[in-house]
Structure 1
Amino acid sequence: MSTMILQLQHVFKHYQLEGKQIPVLKDINFEVEAGATLAIVGPSGSGKSTLLGLCAGLDQPSEGSIRLHGIELAGLNEDKLAQIRNEHVGFVFQNFQLLPTLTALENVMVPMELKGQKDHKAKAIALLERVGLGGRADHYPSQLSGGEQQRVSLARAFANKPKILFADEPTGNLDAETSQIIEEMLFELNRESGTTLIIVTHDLELAAKTQRVIPIKGGQIQ
């Protein structure tokens, strides 16, 4: 078994718009070792979020090969991709993406319930305590600050013990002080879990905290 958890070979992505082909990513090649931390950096519109979506199996490449945990993603149907994401992948988004009708605790329990984990309530409570929100388990997202919502999303992201975690601008909606707390928490949880971490960001200070940085501009690795 390769120690590489993610491998991209000659990946292209383009969209059709009014009969024209719009290139977004051009000939992307890189691989990531299991347990590594990596940042993909670039200006808005550079293709970095599109690249993250392809790596995570949220979208399909137009050409090329993407292997996640040894599984070729290109050509798989949506049901199979969803299964792979549920088993191997965690996500943290800029806008938190918590379910508004569920409490903090219920939000953290969702991925564990989908996977059929036992003792999921106790595990979810422990995760909320780990991110400093043990006392806010019964609060709904609207009752939490932005930083607190992102802590809930961190707890949810690690709930399934993912092999790889994708964080898309994880501190993009937070002030500097809160961002610092969330970043430290993200890296700590990642170290404890031995998860591979891939962060998409335009924040070069955040990127510098990872072991490796891949700059992308105009859809190509620089």
Structure 2
Amino acid sequence: MTSTMILRVAHVFKHYLIGDKQLPILQDINFEIEEGSTVSIVGPSGSGKTTLLGLCAGLDKASEGDIILNGINLTGLSEDKLAAIRNEHVGFVFQNFQLLPTLTALENVLVPMELRGMKNKQTEAMALLERVGLGKRADHYPSQLSGGEQQRVSLARAFANKPKILFADEPTGNLDAETSVIIEDMLFQLNTESGTTLVIVTHDMDLAAKTQKIIPIKGGRVQ
């Protein structure tokens, strides 16, 4: 049985124009990720790993090269098309949680479900909150939750639209060591149960060691 590549990155460059000069961020990045696998992108601060995640997830556009996500080449697509692809195929977990402060935990989990027009939204959203141990806090707002609890809501939200691939950017970066272990375990368990491909950006080598593949980046290049 041949493996399916859910993400292909081919000769990708990213630079920003500062005045009349180009500032290179990523240079000739190439790799492939198998469907259903767990992968970490590691490197020091400023190495370009978060920029690379943004390109792979369709949050930003490459200056050169091709990024093929679940068979779709993201190169040259409009912002509207990229947004539709993210909603259809991608889940996110961010370091700073990025929950909507005016919505309850349950309402935050419902957002991607609403965008996709999913059925049985309320039941599934509550089931996800129960799965991360927050069923009794569904009506709480982010400001009423601890950092670890907010990240649990973020995990539930990330899996709400049944993504093909989930990108996690320093998912435990704002959490203490004990809470980080809990969140990491939940992330991997949910990922296994869902059959999702997981890509983690991190500088934590202990976390990276839990993934099947490590892609090291330094100075904007894969090492």
Q: TM-score range by the shorter chain?
A: over 0.9
Partner of 1:105: 106
Match status 1:136 vs 2:137: yes
Contact kept? 1:2, 1:70, Cα under 8 Å: no
Shift of 1:2: 7.1
Which letter maps to 2:84? Q
TM-score norm. by structure 2 comes to 0.99
Q: Give me the TM-score of the superposition, normalised by structure 1.
A: 0.99
The structural deviation recorded for 1:18 is 1.5
Pair 1:146-2:147 in alignment: yes
Q: Structure 1 201/3 Cα, relative in aligned 2: closer, same or farther at 3 Å?
A: same
Deviations 1:148-204 (A, max 9, x none): 000000000000110000000000000000000000000000000000000000000
Supply the distance in 2 between the matched residues of 1:55 and 1:20 (Cα, whole angstroms).
25
The 5 Å alignment of 1:80-119 reads 80-119=81-120
Tell me what 2:189 maps to. Answer: 188
Deviations 1:24-68 (CA, angstroms, capped at 9, x unpaired): 000000000000000000000000000000000001100001000
Give the secondary structure class of the aligned counterpart of 2:160.
Answer: coil
Name the counterpart of 1:205.
206
Q: Which runs of 5+ in 1 are unaligned?
A: none
Partner residue in 2 for 1:178: 179
CA distance in 1, matches of 2:146, 2:86: 28
Report what 1:123 is aligned to: 124
How many pairs are equivalent? 222
Residue type matched to 1:141 in 2?
P
Q: Percent identity?
A: 79
Asked if the contact 1:65/1:72 (under 8 Å) is kept, the reply is yes
- Partner amino acid, structure 1, of 2:189: E
**8 Å Cα contact 2:10-2:29 kept in structure 1:** yes
CA shift for structure 1 position 19: 1.2
**Counterpart residue number, 2:25:** 24
**Structure-1 separation of matches of 2:206 and 2:219:** 22
> What's the offset of the Cα at 1:9?
0.6
- Whole-angstrom distance in 1 between the partners of 2:79 and 2:113: 20
5+ unaligned residues in a row in structure 2: which ranges?
A: none
Over 6 Å off, 4+ runs: none
- Correspondence for 1:57: 58
Asked whether the equivalents of residues 3 and 35 of structure 2 are also in contact (C-alpha less than 8 Å), the reply is no
Deviations along 1:90-118, one digit per CA (max 9) or x if unpaired, are 00000000000000000000000010011
Q: What value does the CA root-mean-square deviation take over the aligned residues?
A: 0.9
